[in-house]
Amino acid sequence: MQVSLREKSPVVHCITNQVVANFQANGLLAIGASPIMGDEEEEVSELVSISDVLSLNIGTLNNRTLESMLVAGKAANQKGIPVVLDPVGVGATRYRLDAIKKLLDVVKVDLIRCNTGELATLMQKDWHAKGVDAGEGEMDRKEVAMALAKQRKTLVVVTGEVDIVTDGNDLKTVTNGHISMTHVTGTGCLLSSVLGAHLTLLQKDQVRLLAEALSEYGSAGEEAAKVSESAGAFARAFLDQLSERRWQYDF
């Protein structure tokens, strides 16, 4: 069986941060998905009703958007569509950590996509986080990612030089990617919603599906870096790469 993101063209409802909203929408369009951003509490349930996946990102969270995420998350659970959570900078403040705990308690999340520092915070490991960036520390990323997946009964993707995807039992690693991806903001946030879009394609084999999507995304970064490693030109070449790929898989 062949599955194609461009053919499915899922509607992706994003409640995301003010930094990356435009990049995230353009990146989703580039892979053939149909993004819609909206965080007003009064309309999020209606937005979920017309969407195929909900993508939550706490990058510039406030009390108003947190309420909207809780309402949207519950509506998505009721409808039975996948929910992705990107805990941006969860180690930076108490506010973010409390918000993530609340979101994970109230909403059934299908995928947590984070960097290594965010994983460490979620699992109470000793780590020197650096704002929204991964930071430094010593930890067995694979073991901790599997423990989080088991604890929250969710898929977990942890990115970095090597990406990890696990459902708590099965685990795959992906080595594609380029350091330039960390020099422009939003490649992680966009990736979270790109993976969310992929979850609309298949109910089973999702670890393999996400590994293939990660490999494709990372190799888009590698090819873009051949055009330029300067931030502006790289970001543009990266979007071009996303739009030139098929996002089609054999299962």
188 binds ligand ATP (CB under 6 A): yes
List 5, 14, 15, 20, residue binding ligand TZP (CB under 6 A): 20
- Alpha-helical segments (H) within the chain: 5-8, 21-30, 41-49, 63-79, 94-106, 116-122, 141-152, 187-199, 206-227, 231-244
**Binding flags for ligand TZP, 115-144, as an x/- string (CB under 6 A):** -----------------x------------
177 binds Mg ion (CB under 5 A): no
C-beta separation of 186 from 23 below 8 A: yes
For residues 12 and 28, give the distance between their C-alpha atoms in angstroms, rounded to a whole number.
Answer: 8
For residues 251 and 247, give the distance between their C-alpha atoms in angstroms, rounded to a whole number.
Answer: 13
Q: Does 218 appear as a known binding residue?
A: no
Q: Which is nearer to ligand ATP, 187 or 200 (CB)?
A: 187
Q: Does 159 appear as a known binding residue?
A: yes
Residue 211: is it exposed, middle or buried by C-beta count within 10 angstroms (0-12/13-18/19+)?
buried
- φ/ψ of 72, rounded to 5, equals -65, -40
Q: Residue 248, Cβ neighbours under 10 Å: how many?
A: 15
Give the binding range for ligand TZP (CB under 6 A) out of 15-23, 28-36, 156-164, 240-248. 15-23
Residue 114 Cβ vs Mg ion, minimum distance, rounded to whole Å: 7
Q: Report which residue type is found at 230.
A: S
179 binds ligand ATP (CB under 6 A): yes
Q: Report which residue type is found at 97.
A: L
Q: Does 113 appear as a known binding residue?
A: yes
List 117, 168, 188, 218, residue binding Mg ion (CB under 5 A): 188
Residue 248 Cβ vs Mg ion, minimum distance, rounded to whole Å: 27
160 binds ligand ATP (CB under 6 A): yes
Residue 75 Cβ vs ligand TZP, minimum distance, rounded to whole Å: 24
Distance of CA 88 to the CA centre of its chain: 10
Q: Does 89 appear as a known binding residue?
A: no
182 binds ligand ATP (CB under 6 A): yes
Give the binding range for ligand ATP (CB under 6 A) out of 48-56, 119-127, 149-157, 187-195. 187-195
Residue 136: is it exposed, middle or buried by C-beta count within 10 angstroms (0-12/13-18/19+)?
exposed
Residue 153 backbone class (left: φ over 0; alpha: ψ -120 to 50; beta: rest): left
Q: Which stretches of the chain bind ligand ATP, using CB under 6 A? A: 115, 132-134, 159-161, 163, 177-179, 181-182, 187-188, 191, 217-218
Q: Which stretches of the chain bind ligand TZP, using CB under 6 A? A: 17, 19-20, 59-60, 88, 132, 185-189
